[in-house]
Amino acid sequence: MSHPSASVSQRAAEIASRVEAFVRETIIPYEKDPRRSSHGPTDALVMEMRAKARAAGVLTPHILPDGDHLTQRETAHVLKKTGLSPLGPLACNTAAPDEGNMYLLGKVGTPEQKHHFLKQLVEGHARSAFFMTEPASEGGAGSDPSMMQTTAHRSGNHWVVNGRKAFITGADGAKVGIVMAQSEEGACMFLVDLPNPAIRIERVLDTIDSSMPGGHAVITIDNLRVPADQMLGASGEGFKYAQVRLSPARLSHCMRWHGAATRAHEIATAYVCGRQAFGKLLIDHEGVGFQLADNLIDLKQAELMIDWCADVLDAGSLGTAESSMAKVAVSDALFRVADRCVQVMGGTGVTQDTIVEQVFREVRAFRIYDGPTEVHKWSLAKKIKRDFMAHAK
């Protein structure tokens, strides 16, 4: 097990140590469990693992018993440990989209909304889904949320929502939904209990990744009636609330997949230090050893990028540009790590005998989820121009 740096608080180090021991000893054996499919682990498996996490005192470890949240820097240290297995974030209740949804509800929700919706998520009894992305074939919102076509209009003391959504992670089996729609005032968010007959799953997509229960669904929303007191915040403020959620959510993706890439590197290292070819261990061949050396460099640079962005968020900034930089740098670095692990393990690397091939698939998808690399770079380029023009004036 790794040792915490001096910059990690004592409470975060203690929590992370317990989480790491739990994931390595209790959750990693579940990686061979047959209750896993291309659409993610079954809810029965998730709840079985969460029961063990609850008993071990590591369920939702980034939220303290008094409801306080660890700092982003502390969260980074803990979530990297949950990520040591693709099942770890599910078991410890730090997975997307639940972790980001809990964060948003904690920041924006009313006391009544927190009691009804947030409590069951924090306690690990329910999963959630965030309904924002829409079908590209219909010109709906994707990387550009301003293209949102899902509508919401007032009807007495309710709102009525209509539209279609796509790539909605975990919708199949979720009990809590956050639905984004466009009202006359602008974007808004609604909290809904699931399942709801007005929210119909058309199909669950077959995607490259397979770590999230419920997969990624295409959804039809047909005259969904939502009580006015289940609007999250105010009408027209939805994009502002999305920003509250997006920067920490981007960063927590980086944290979890850093743990997964670290584990892939461990597996690849054990393989090349035990396998011989051409008269010596694979690790002693430069073409192999240098790839693992590059892994160490990428993992360390990604760790530093995560910690830097976490510090920006902890200082009170929205961290929009910083989280874009971190998301691009970390997702690309971790993909290189996973790719090298597959390569040095040869045929074994592309089998499901280890989790290396899954980590490769998951991190490849991560380069698109929460904003493709190119969209983040475009956003950063706009900031460069904006800052230059402001300085020139």
Span 186-223, pLDDT tens digits: 999 999 999 999 999 999 999 999 999 999 999 999 99
Q: What are the angstrom distances between the C-alpha of 165 and each of 44, 69, 107, 168, 349?
A: 26, 31, 25, 7, 35
CB 324 within 8 A of CB 246: no
DSSP-based three-state secondary structure for 157: coil
pLDDT digits (tens, 9 = 90+) for 108-147: 999 999 999 999 999 999 999 999 999 999 999 888 888 9
Distant-in-sequence, close-in-space partners of 232: CB < 8 Å, separation ≥ 6: 104, 105, 108, 109, 113, 178, 188, 189, 190, 191, 241
226: tokens are 């939502």
pLDDT at 11: 96
pLDDT at 6: 56
Helix residue ranges per DSSP H, 193-348 = 238-272, 286-314, 320-344
72: tokens are 């982003």
DSSP-based three-state secondary structure for 368: coil
* Sign of the C-alpha dihedral computed for residues 110, 115, 116 and 121 taken in this order: positive
pLDDT band of residue 1 (cuts 50, 70, 90) is very low
| Average pLDDT along the chain | 96
pLDDT band of residue 327 (cuts 50, 70, 90) is very high
Q: Is the pLDDT of residue 358 over 70?
A: yes
DSSP 8-state assignment for residue 63? B
DSSP-based three-state secondary structure for 201: strand
Q: Is the pLDDT of residue 179 over 50?
A: yes
Torsions phi, psi for 157 (to 5 deg): -95, 25
Q: Is the pLDDT of residue 72 over 60?
A: yes
Q: What does the chain come to in residues?
A: 393
- Average pLDDT score over residue span 352-373: 96
Q: b/e string for 113-127 if b means 16 or more Cβ within 10 A? A: bbeebbeebbebebb
- Average pLDDT score over residue span 272-287: 97
Give 217's strand partners.
Answer: 168, 204
Angle between helices 356-366 and 238-272 (to 10 degrees): 150
- pTM score, whole prediction: 0.95
Q: Which domains does the chain possess?
A: 10-95 (1.10.540.10), 128-232 (2.40.110.10), 239-392 (1.20.140.10)
User: Closest Cα partner for 178 from 163, 166, 188, 186?
Assistant: 188
pLDDT digits (tens, 9 = 90+) for 74-116: 999 999 999 999 999 999 999 999 999 999 999 999 999 999 9
For tokens 């009894």, what's the residue?
125
| % pLDDT > 90, the chain | 92
Q: Is the pLDDT of residue 5 over 90?
A: no
DSSP-based three-state secondary structure for 317: coil
Q: Is the pLDDT of residue 3 over 80?
A: no
